[in-house]
Amino acid sequence: MTKRLIVTARILPDGAPTKIVGRDAWALQNLVRAGEGGCTPIDHPGPRWSHYVFKLRRVGFTIQTLDEAHGGPFPGSHARYVLRSDVEIVDGGKGAV
Protein backbone atom coordinates (compact mmCIF):
# COMPACT_ATOMS: atom_id res chain seq x y z
CA MET A 1 0.00 0.00 0.00
CA THR A 2 1.32 3.44 -0.95
CA LYS A 3 1.27 6.07 1.77
CA ARG A 4 0.28 9.59 0.80
CA LEU A 5 1.85 12.64 2.36
CA ILE A 6 -0.69 14.65 4.35
CA VAL A 7 0.07 18.13 5.71
CA THR A 8 -2.25 20.37 7.69
CA ALA A 9 -1.48 24.07 7.23
CA ARG A 10 -3.14 27.40 7.81
CA ILE A 11 -2.65 30.87 6.42
CA LEU A 12 -1.78 33.32 9.17
CA PRO A 13 -3.05 35.21 11.01
CA ASP A 14 -6.52 33.68 11.14
CA GLY A 15 -6.89 31.03 8.43
CA ALA A 16 -8.61 27.76 9.19
CA PRO A 17 -6.48 24.59 9.18
CA THR A 18 -6.55 22.96 5.73
CA LYS A 19 -5.51 19.43 4.87
CA ILE A 20 -3.22 19.21 1.82
CA VAL A 21 -2.56 15.76 0.36
CA GLY A 22 0.02 14.09 -1.87
CA ARG A 23 2.25 16.04 -4.24
CA ASP A 24 0.42 19.25 -3.34
CA ALA A 25 1.56 18.73 0.28
CA TRP A 26 5.09 18.00 -0.94
CA ALA A 27 5.10 21.24 -2.96
CA LEU A 28 3.78 23.28 -0.02
CA GLN A 29 6.46 21.86 2.29
CA ASN A 30 9.15 22.75 -0.26
CA LEU A 31 7.78 26.27 -0.72
CA VAL A 32 7.71 26.86 3.05
CA ARG A 33 11.29 25.57 3.46
CA ALA A 34 12.58 27.59 0.49
CA GLY A 35 11.31 30.91 1.84
CA GLU A 36 12.16 33.97 -0.27
CA GLY A 37 14.37 31.87 -2.56
CA GLY A 38 11.37 29.98 -3.87
CA CYS A 39 11.38 26.72 -5.81
CA THR A 40 11.95 25.82 -9.44
CA PRO A 41 11.40 22.51 -11.19
CA ILE A 42 15.17 22.52 -11.71
CA ASP A 43 16.24 22.69 -8.04
CA HIS A 44 13.19 20.83 -6.66
CA PRO A 45 12.39 18.25 -9.36
CA GLY A 46 8.71 17.44 -9.59
CA PRO A 47 6.73 16.50 -12.67
CA ARG A 48 3.90 19.05 -12.44
CA TRP A 49 4.93 22.10 -10.40
CA SER A 50 2.55 24.39 -12.28
CA HIS A 51 -0.40 22.16 -11.41
CA TYR A 52 0.59 21.86 -7.72
CA VAL A 53 0.80 25.66 -7.55
CA PHE A 54 -2.55 26.02 -9.35
CA LYS A 55 -4.23 23.74 -6.79
CA LEU A 56 -2.56 25.46 -3.79
CA ARG A 57 -3.70 28.85 -5.09
CA ARG A 58 -7.23 27.48 -5.44
CA VAL A 59 -7.16 26.61 -1.71
CA GLY A 60 -6.10 30.19 -0.91
CA PHE A 61 -2.29 30.26 -0.75
CA THR A 62 -0.64 33.26 -2.45
CA ILE A 63 2.20 32.02 -4.66
CA GLN A 64 4.14 34.34 -6.97
CA THR A 65 5.47 33.05 -10.29
CA LEU A 66 8.73 34.62 -11.49
CA ASP A 67 9.94 33.94 -15.03
CA GLU A 68 13.71 33.26 -15.16
CA ALA A 69 15.95 32.82 -18.17
CA HIS A 70 18.45 29.97 -18.26
CA GLY A 71 21.29 29.08 -20.62
CA GLY A 72 22.94 25.77 -21.35
CA PRO A 73 22.42 23.44 -24.27
CA PHE A 74 18.65 24.12 -24.20
CA PRO A 75 18.32 27.83 -23.31
CA GLY A 76 14.94 29.23 -22.47
CA SER A 77 13.07 30.14 -19.33
CA HIS A 78 11.59 28.44 -16.31
CA ALA A 79 9.30 29.44 -13.45
CA ARG A 80 10.35 30.16 -9.89
CA TYR A 81 7.49 29.84 -7.40
CA VAL A 82 7.65 31.89 -4.19
CA LEU A 83 5.15 31.45 -1.36
CA ARG A 84 3.90 34.91 -0.35
CA SER A 85 1.32 33.80 2.23
CA ASP A 86 2.47 33.58 5.82
CA VAL A 87 1.86 29.88 6.50
CA GLU A 88 1.92 27.78 9.65
CA ILE A 89 2.36 24.04 9.25
CA VAL A 90 0.04 22.69 11.94
CA ASP A 91 0.87 19.02 11.30
CA GLY A 92 4.16 18.42 9.49
CA GLY A 93 3.01 15.52 7.44
CA LYS A 94 2.33 11.85 7.63
CA GLY A 95 3.20 9.33 4.95
CA ALA A 96 5.88 9.05 2.33
CA VAL A 97 7.81 12.11 1.23
- Domain locations along the chain: 6-94
Per-residue confidence at 73, pLDDT binned at 50, 70, 90?
Answer: very high
Beta strands in 12-53 (DSSP E): 18-21
Mean pLDDT in residue range 91-96: 65
pLDDT beyond 70 at 64: yes
3-state DSSP percent of the chain in helix, strand and coil, to 5: 25, 35, 35
Mean pLDDT in residue range 16-22: 96
